[in-house]
Amino acid sequence: MSHVQKGDKVNVHYHGRLNDGSTFDSSEGREPLSFIAGQGQVIKGFDDAVVNMIPGDKKTVNIPVDEAYGHRSDDMVMDYPITEFPADMNPEVGMELQMGDNQGNVFPVVIVAINEDMVTLDGNHPLAGHDLTFDIELVSIG
């Protein structure tokens, strides 16, 4: 039976947990996650974990923050004048928005605070700053 090598298309089931044991994502009840191993299509620690697995293998991996979504950055939290929002929009804490930068890149942000003049937006990935644990099952290669 062949082992996963970088460049192989893999199909995996997974269950992702935070250090407190809470689930943040799972493929349970869905199709397996498909990606090309070693191509950076998933976080580094997950990508590295599937290499050398064979179909049917199961493993639990602990992925440190540096191999997951990185550390939270205060530079990714910004205040934005409430007057810059469309008049027909009613910003609310927890609302997810898309924002663009001067280079034309679009990225997701979440409203984390609102006062009468400003809306505070957080562009950090929701899992930034967290070590992650994944239970991984290799369903198939190819």
pLDDT digits (tens, 9 = 90+) for 44-70: 999 999 999 999 999 999 999 999 999
Cα(10)–Cα(141) distance, rounded to whole angstroms? 5
At which residue do the structure tokens 């997951």 appear? Answer: 68
Residue at token pair 């898309």? 98
Topology match between the domains 9-70+127-141 and 74-122: no
The residue with tokens 């440190």 is 64
Domain 9-70+127-141, classified CATH 3.10.50.40, yes or no: yes
Q: What's the pLDDT score for residue 77?
A: 95
Residue environment code for 72-96, b if the CB has 16+ CB neighbours within 10 A, otherwise e = beeeeeeebeeeeeeeeeeeeeeee
Question: Are 138 and 34 a contacting pair, CB within 8 Å?
Answer: no
Each residue's pLDDT tens digit, 8-36: 999 999 999 999 999 999 999 999 999 99
Average pLDDT, stretch 68-94? 93
Domain parsing of the chain, residue ranges:
9-70+127-141, 74-122
Structure tokens at 114: 């609102």
What is the value of pTM for the model shown? 0.81
Under CATH, which number does the domain 74-122 receive?
A: 2.40.10.330
Beta-carbon count within 10 A of 41 CB: 12
